[in-house]
Amino acid sequence: MIASQRPRILLLIPHLGGGGAERVTALLARGLSPEKYEVHLGVVTQAQSGGEPLPLPVQLHRLGASRVRAGAIPLLRLVRRLRPELILSGMYHLNFLVVMLRPLFPRGTCVLIRQNATISSSLAMDGLPGYTRLLYRLLYRRADRVICQTRAMADDLARELGLAENRLAVLPNPVDVEEIRAFVEGNPARQREAGPQLVAVGRLSREKGFDLLLRALALLRAEFPGVSLLIAGAGAEEAALKAECRALGIADAVRFAGYEERPVECYSGATLFVLPSRHEGLPNALLEAAVAGLPIVALPASEGLVELLHGQAGVWLAPEISSEALAVTLAAALRALQPGERFVHEFVEQFRIERAIAAYETQFDQSLAGKP
């Protein structure tokens, strides 16, 4: 197949080196077949180099906008110049921009958007403008497909937005299982501190629930006075979370590591991985921690997450979303675990990068052919 016959695919993200949604898109860019597709990656708010390394066939376009909503004109210019057959956008605020601009795209451009959070929980969060639901309902209908990570997320989206079943697709997040396991094998678990060491990864924002984790840690210290916590991530809540540490008297037990491009590097000395989110779709940080074999403690952040983790060996699910429930569940896990104990979490096999890429390629081919 010559280059001119390959469908041109444009993947869009705000920036490289961000959270799970950006990492998923970068993994797709690395994994999509260069024999089948001409792959382009559009980075809306990043003008400088950084983030995931990309293979040479992937053409990178840095739009250099100050923020996503300021990227409309550069994005429109890029789309009109490239004339891609298919566009995939990967975060809700960028999704809004893409589907708003869709009437100005070249005729026949197929638009897919990936939803990375449960709609009902997102809309219930404090701080979102009241018109957000209306934007979702009006704009998401313009996409050819909305990609969700779990069946529960798709069902929730259909209920909340009234989208038809044939406009939704459930595809697994890609996880580079072999790369993570190779790193873990070369860096065996080692305890850096005397007490149990917890690790949590994610953007420092309210929905990620790090404030709940800090309060749970303060409660946990009554039974485990030597417990420590490493938080890998960056975000707007960092200053507030550090102030909360000081107020709770646990500043000496918490380390903020900032953004980690490879979170797996934080796992070798950890006793367990904590997911304290108030709501989630299906975070790659949790899947990568599971590949690394870490025991997992999680809040029931979504129906799909509970379905995936319920009854799994080496997983402790809190009964409700609260700091008290998280503290009780953490204590139960720490009492049960042996030092350095690891688990083979078989549920991650379905997220192997090769399987996920194949599923995305099938969806791309069906969308390009106009099939449901």
* pLDDT confidence of residue 1: 36
* pLDDT confidence of residue 95: 92
Q: Which residues partner with 86 through β-bridges?
A: 9, 110
Helix residue spans in 91-188 (DSSP H): 92-101, 119-124, 132-139, 151-161, 177-186
Asked if residues 65 and 81 have their Cβ atoms less than 8 Å apart, the reply is no
Q: Which CATH architecture has domain 177-350?
A: 3-Layer(aba) Sandwich (3.40)
**Tell me: the pLDDT tens digits for 154-180?**
999 899 888 888 899 999 999 999 999
Q: How is residue 238 written in tokens?
A: 């960092």
Classified as helix, coil or strand, 231 is strand
Asked if residues 43 and 60 have their Cβ atoms less than 8 Å apart, the reply is yes
CATH topology of domain 3-174+353-368: Rossmann fold (3.40.50)
**Angstrom distance (rounded) from CA 172 to CA 150:** 8
Low pLDDT (below 70) residues in the chain: 1-4, 17-19, 46-56, 125-128, 189-193, 371-372
* pLDDT confidence of residue 282: 87
**Angstrom distance (rounded) from CA 340 to CA 271:** 6
**Angstrom distance (rounded) from CA 91 to CA 179:** 25
Classified as helix, coil or strand, 8 is strand
Domains 3-174+353-368 and 177-350 agree in fold: yes
pTM of the shown model = 0.88
| Domain locations along the chain | 3-174+353-368, 177-350
